[in-house]
Structure 1
Amino acid sequence: MKYILTIVIAFLITSCGPAYVANQVEKDFKGDWVLESISYPDASGLFEVELFNLASVSCFENSVWEFIPNNSTGNFVLDGNNCSKTQEEFTWYVDKTTAESFNPEMLLKITTGQKARKVDQGSRIRIISLLENQMVWEENAMFKGEEITIEMTFTKI
């Protein structure tokens, strides 16, 4: 009986592991962040890529992002070069299947004006680093038929 109880407790602890780690990572996102820079680490040249099926990269530069971890929502304001100022809403969460990996992944869906459950498209983003005052994301995108990596660096306000 003692062994069965030990096995059950061990199973419960290990099965909750990734969910717990994902929740801890999500808490680190809390607050306001500025998208300071966007780069293409594996490519050279100037690219005009559309992020999140919304706007060009230049519109996202210096955008302010707010993450609310207790309900997995947030918003950001696009106010970049030659772009009209718009506020977008999103839902997000850390993928529990990748939470314990070296680079966990976040799923982000733009939900402006819609219920999150009605939105069936989103973006998978690798969290390269998440520190107290800085975070770095990577996302793959298609440019002229080839996949490129976009790196986004945020600073906490």
Structure 2
Amino acid sequence: MRKSLFIVLALALVASSCSVSKAAREQRNLISGTWNLDNARYENSSEALEAILFSDANILCFEGSNWFFRDNNSTGRYTLKQGSLCEGGDRYIRWSVQEPAAGGSQMQFKFIDADNKDISGGYGYRLNIAELGPANMVLKTPSSVNGQRVTVVLEFSKESENK
């Protein structure tokens, strides 16, 4: 009897430690949908810097990109437009919302293929959620560009669901 009770308590502890907080669930629900990346810029720098974001493309390629987040299976994609500096097309991701011990919330993602299989070797990216509302989202992440410490700022607007 004691052994069964111990197993049930251990399973309950494991299940509760893996659960997502109410705040993280609410943020996931707000993020779910289609977003346009209106502005990609740097804080802490007045220079015209050029950096490769997410080991993928020049920061300029991300402006005007389209992002889709599906919260029921944590998958999504972003689509870059083809240009002289940019290789256009879809990049598939698996994403989640995390609440680090230091406070705040972060969106993290890693690259997957069209069959939802990890192609990044477990490596991913974390962005601080600076603002999140029904129609706008601002994500920030510290970075180093040409040896200069900057903060990358990504400003999104949500597409209307009635399109």
TM-score bucket (shorter structure): 0.7 to 0.9
Corresponding residue for 1:141? 143
1:114-147 CA-to-partner distances (Å, cap 9, x unmatched) read 6138632111100000011000000122212232
Aligned twin of 1:112: 113
Deviation at 1:21, TM superposition (A): 1.9
Q: CA 1:78/1:16 → structure 2, altered by over 3 Å: closer, same or farther?
A: closer
Paired with 2:21 and 2:88, the residues of 1 have a C-alpha distance of: 36
Match runs of 1:13-32 below 5 Å? 19-32=21-34
* Distance in 2, Cα, partners of 1:118 & 1:105: 19
Question: Which is worse superposed, 28-37 or 138-147?
Answer: 138-147
In the aligned structure 2, how far is the partner of 1:35 from the partner of 1:59?
10
**Which residue in 2 is equivalent to 1:94?**
97
Gaps of 5+ in 1: 1-11
Change (3 A) 1:74 1:46: same
Q: Secondary structure at the match of 2:43?
A: coil
Amino acid aligned to 1:93: S
- Aligned partners of 2:82 and 2:89 also within 8 Å: no
Q: Give TM-score, length-normalised by structure 1.
A: 0.80
Q: Cα RMSD over matched residues?
A: 2.6
Q: Deviations over 1:28-76 (max 9, x none)?
A: 1011000000121211111111111101111111000000011111011
| Residue ranges of structure 2 left out of the alignment (5+ in a row) | 1-12
Separation in structure 1 between the aligned mates of residue 22 and residue 119 of structure 2, nearest angstrom: 24
2:56 aligned partner: 54
